[in-house]
Every structure is written in structure tokens, then in C-alpha cells.
């Protein structure tokens, strides 16, 4: 066996045969021109970019190893951003102007930018080229007509005016449903359009008035939001347990029944009423004559606006009821005053209000007794309380527990009022007429009743009402001149008029 053959045989690896090693390449071979020529031939063998669409949007993800492909993708993105910027500038520049400009010629829209574009782009293209969208009529040029020769159309053309009027309906209020008049090619004449425009304007004004009335006034059997909030605050403060419902409504107020709660200053009856004075303005003209010449409130009246006079009206009833209660005249007892809400004791029992004197079924002796009670209360009201009811009738007197109760004294004035005696004469006429109709033979005439209440002893004579009223007016004028000479200090409200506490108006 040859020794040299044994030494040249390569040993076998226990891990199997390995891959042959790549022959090493020297630096001289790398820098040779032959190798550079070979690499150049391989690069020229790359397929030509003939179809941009196949390159940009292949079925699989694009090959970003090519510089050309990256450049085209970046250019497409830049053009899209440029078009979006142009649209924003165009919209900002035009605004709501009827005359607009377009940057369409400056857009960089690519031929391969089709359905694969962004959602916003498709919406924008659809709105510009919507075949079902009705076109608005073109504006008439400054010269006043369009066309040439026999095809001239002026701005007074019936069809053109009709379409323009239809387009103008889009400017109506949003709550007016005008429909798709342009799509139906509706043509409105000038007369019809003007009538619709006037109707929409009047409806808007009426809606505004109804909204203001709902927010700022008390309705017949409901209250405005501010009044409702005041009532809720009374319940939350414990002054009232709950509010049960409406008892009656009148021309100046709404009365609610409630269950009394508790107050630290004074006890509250189990049953009370809330007299909510209406804040509508249609009654202020009638209220002015009762309060503007009242010497107790004349200074404050001149400084208040009509919206705040109603609070003074409620305060006036509180003071009048306090005077009457001090003279022991049957009347509601004041519990609390909060702005234009007056809380008083309830005249009735078990949620049932006492009937009015006109509705009470009384016998002959009972109605006779009621007449003398009313006569005595009128004398007390005039002589002890220094007040005239000014609206006394069978509607403002209640019959409860065998007695007549007086209510609704917010309009009551002092005899020194410029029309105080005239109001008293009207009260005497209402009382005398009612009891005479009920068959009370002892009921005095209106003239005798007036003299019995006032003690003036005006001569009746032939009972001529005009002469009697003339004497009353003369007395009022003399009394008014006396008051003006003496000054307002004589008729200030003394401290004894101070009634129940007024709830502080923290939100004023």
C-alpha cells in the first residue's frame, strides 16, 4: 500500500458532507472592467415601464425596491394633496357669494386616478357631475337679456322668473318645508311667491310672540317656567308639602291649593292657597289706575318697569289683608310673599273651597244676616282700615262657617285716592243690586248705602245719579288738593302695616 495515497485522502466528517466553499475573489477582479460590464448588462435586462397602472396598482403589494416606482407614488400623493388644497382655497374664497370662481384648470388629476381614490374624492366628483341634480337658473347678465336676434330672453321672462322664485324658496326659514321645487321644474309667479314670503314672515313673528308669552307670562291654568321654579323652591324649602292643583282662575291671577309645611317665624295652616298673579301685559292698563295714584306706592311705581309692577301689586294685597286682619274682618291670613306669588290661608275645608256668595244657597233669614255682615264690613274697611275695596261684589265674597269672607283686595285703595270715592260708589251699587235681587227688603239704595259707609251725608234729592256722582267728584278734587298741599308725609305707610315676611329675592 502506497504511503502517499494514504496521506492525501481527506478525512470524512461525522456530520455529513458540507456545502463547498465559495472561491475567494480578489480586489483586482472586483475592480476589473469586465466585471463592471457584466453588471451593466444585467441592469439593462430589467423590463421597461410601459404601463403605469400595472406598476402602481398590481394585484399584489407594489415593489418599492425601484426608485421609479417610489417617485411615481410620491408624485401621485403630492398631486392629491395639491388638489385638496385647491378645493379648500376655492371654497374659502367663494364663501356664500352668488358669483364664484373655479380652480379646475389648475388641478393635477391623473388618468389612473379612478374608483380607487379616496372616499372624499369620489363624493366631490359625484356632486360636481350628478346627472340627477337640478341646476339653478342662471343669473341674468348686467345688460338685462340673453341670446341674440329672435331668441332674446329678458329678466322679465315668465319662465325665468318662475324658476328664480322657486330657487329663492330655499332662503325661507328651516321650519318651512318647500320641497324639491327645482327638481320638479316648478315655476312660481311673483304674486304667489310674494304671498308665500309674507305668510312665512307672519308665521315667524307669531311663533316668536307665542314663545315669548310662554316664557314670560302666566297662562290661564298653567304657569311660566320662572313661576314654576319659585313654587318648586317653596316645596323644597319645606314651606309647602305639595301643590295639589288649580282652584280658580281670573283675569289677574291663578289660585292653587297646597298643603302647608313649616316656617320658623310663624306656623303655617294645614291648607293654604297660592295666588299667582299673571304677568301678562294686557292687564297693566287697568291696574295702573289703582296703584299709580296710591300714595303708599306712588314713589316706587314711577321707578319700576311694567314687568316689575306685578310684584308691587302682590305686595299691595299683602298690606291690605294685614290691615283687614288687624280690624278682625274675615279674610284670608297672609303666610308668605315671594315676588308675585302670595301664600294665604285656605277658606274652605278638606280641599273643597268655600262657595262664592252668588253660588251659596241661603234662606231668607240667612241672606238678611249676610247683608248686615257686608254692611258692617264695608264700614269697618272704610273707617278702621282706611280702605276702599274697589271691586266688591258677590264674586269676591265667600260664604264659610256662617260668615261672609272678603277676598281679592289687591286693587283696594285708600279714600284719599283720586278715584277712591268713585270706586266706593261702584261697590255700593253692586252690593245693593245683589241683595235687592235676593229679596232682602232691608237692603238700602246705593245712595243711602254710600252715605252709611262714608258718613258724608251727601243730599240724595231726587236720586239723580249724575248729580250724586258730580258731588263725589267735587269731594275728590278738594281732597286731592288738600293732599297735595299737606304733602305725601301725611299718607306714608306706617310701620304697623308691616305684614308677614317677604321672602328675599336672591335671584333678583
Which are the catalytic amino acids? Answer: 391
- Residues forming a β-bridge with 256: 246, 274
- Residues forming a β-bridge with 337: 342, 502
Whether the CB-CB separation of 456 and 475 falls below 8 Å is answered with yes
Q: How far apart are CA 282 and CA 225, in angstroms?
A: 20
CB half-sphere exposure, 107, CA atoms < 13 A: 17
Residues in the chain: 508
Q: How far is CA 224 from CA 57, 221, 227, 248, 256, in A?
A: 67, 10, 5, 17, 14
- Residues forming a β-bridge with 272: 258, 345
16: left (phi over 0), alpha (psi -120 to 50) or beta: left
- Residues forming a β-bridge with 356: 398
Q: How far apart are CA 369 and CA 363, in angstroms?
A: 10
Give the residue from 159, 167, 152 showing the smallest Cα distance to 189.
Answer: 159
Q: How far is CA 382 from CA 153, 328, 491, in A?
A: 85, 13, 15
Whether the CB-CB separation of 454 and 378 falls below 8 Å is answered with no
Whether the CB-CB separation of 43 and 65 falls below 8 Å is answered with no
CA terminus-to-terminus distance, the chain? 129
Q: How far apart are CA 130 and CA 128, in angstroms?
A: 6
Q: Are strands 271-277 and 253-260 parallel, antiparallel or unpaired?
A: antiparallel
Q: Tell me which DSSP letter residue 327 carries.
A: T
Helices and strands, number each (H, E), in the chain: 16, 11
- Residue 160 has a CB neighbour count (10 Å cut-off) of 17
149: left (phi over 0), alpha (psi -120 to 50) or beta: left
Element (H, E) at 470: helix 465-486
Q: How far apart are CA 431 and CA 434, in angstroms?
A: 5
Q: How far apart are CA 306 and CA 290, in angstroms?
A: 14
CB half-sphere exposure, 386, CA atoms < 13 A: 12
Amino acid at each position: 500500500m502506497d504511503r502517499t495515497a494514504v496521506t492525501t485522502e481527506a478525512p470524512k466528517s461525522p456530520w455529513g458532507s458540507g456545502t463547498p466553499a465559495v472561491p475567494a475573489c480578489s480586489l483586482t477582479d472586483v475592480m476589473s472592467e469586465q466585471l463592471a460590464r457584466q453588471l451593466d448588462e444585467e441592469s439593462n435586462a430589467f423590463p421597461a415601464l410601459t404601463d403605469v397602472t400595472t406598476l402602481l396598482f398590481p394585484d399584489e403589494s407594489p415593489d418599492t425596491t425601484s426608485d421609479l416606482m417610489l417617485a411615481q407614488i410620491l408624485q401621485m400623493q403630492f398631486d392629491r394633496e395639491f388638489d385638496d388644497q385647491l378645493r379648500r382655497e376655492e371654497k374659502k374664497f367663494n364663501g356664500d357669494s352668488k358669483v364664484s370662481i373655479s380652480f379646475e384648470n389648475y388641478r393635477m388629476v391623473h388618468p389612473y386616478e379612478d374608483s380607487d381614490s379616496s372616499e372624499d374624492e369620489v363624493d366631490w366628483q359625484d356632486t360636481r357631475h350628478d346627472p340627477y341634480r337640478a341646476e339653478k337658473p342662471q343669473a341674468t347678465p348686467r345688460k338685462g337679456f340673453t341670446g341674440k336676434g329672435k331668441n332674446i330672453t329678458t329678466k322679465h321672462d315668465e319662465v325665468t322668473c318662475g324658476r328664480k322664485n322657486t330657487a329663492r324658496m330655499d332662503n325661507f326659514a328651516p321650519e318651512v318645508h318647500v320641497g324639491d321645487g327645482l327638481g320638479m321644474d316648478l315655476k312660481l309667479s311673483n304674486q304667489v311667491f310674494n304671498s308665500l314670503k309674507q305668510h312665512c314672515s307672519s308665521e315667524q313673528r307669531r311663533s316668536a310672540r307665542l314663545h315669548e308669552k310662554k316664557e314670560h307670562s302666566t297662562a290661564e291654568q298653567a304657569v311660566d317656567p320662572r313661576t314654576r321654579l319659585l313654587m318648586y323652591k317653596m316645596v323644597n324649602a319645606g314651606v309647602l308639602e305639595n301643590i295639589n292643583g288649580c282652584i280658580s282662575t281670573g283675569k289677574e291671577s291663578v289660585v292653587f291649593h297646597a298643603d302647608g309645611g313649616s316656617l320658623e317665624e310663624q306656623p303655617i295652616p294645614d291648607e293654604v292657597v297660592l295666588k299667582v298673579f299673571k304677568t301678562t301685559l294686557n292687564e297693566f292698563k287697568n291696574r295702573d289706575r289703582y296703584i299709580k295714584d296710591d300714595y303708599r306706592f306712588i314713589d316706587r311705581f314711577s321707578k319700576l318697569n311694567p314687568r316689575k309692577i306685578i310684584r308691587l301689586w302682590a305686595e299691595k294685597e299683602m298690606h291690605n289683608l294685614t290691615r283687614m286682619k288687624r280690624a278682625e274682618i274675615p279674610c284670608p291670613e297672609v303666610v308668605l310673599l315671594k315676588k308675585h306669588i302670595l301664600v294665604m290661608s285656605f277658606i274652605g275645608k278638606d280641599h273643597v273651597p268655600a262657595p262664592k256668595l252668588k253660588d251659596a244657597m241661603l234662606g231668607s233669614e240667612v241672606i238678611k244676616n249676610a247683608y248686615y255682615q257686608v254692611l258692617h264690613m264695608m264700614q269697618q274697611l272704610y273707617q278702621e282700615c282706611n280702605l276702599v275695596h274697589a271691586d266688591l261684589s258677590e264674586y269676591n265674597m265667600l260664604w264659610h262657617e256662617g260668615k261672609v269672607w272678603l277676598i281679592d283686595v289687591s286693587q283696594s285703595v285708600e279714600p284719599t285716592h283720586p278715584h277712591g270715592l268713585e270706586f266706593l260708589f261702584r261697590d255700593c251699587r253692586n252690593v245693593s243690586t245683589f241683595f235687592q235681587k235676593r229679596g232682602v227688603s232691608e237692603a238700602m239704595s246705593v245712595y243711602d248705602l254710600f252715605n252709611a259707609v262714608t258718613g258724608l251725608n251727601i243730599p240724595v234729592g231726587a236720586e239723580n245719579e249724575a248729580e250724586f256722582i258730580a258731588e263725589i267728584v267735587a269731594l275728590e278734587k278738594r281732597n286731592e288738593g288738600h293732599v297735595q298741599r299737606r304733602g305725601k308725609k301725611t299718607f306714608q305707610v306706617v310701620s304697623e302695616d308691616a305684614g308677614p315676611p317677604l321672602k328675599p329675592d336672591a335671584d333678583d
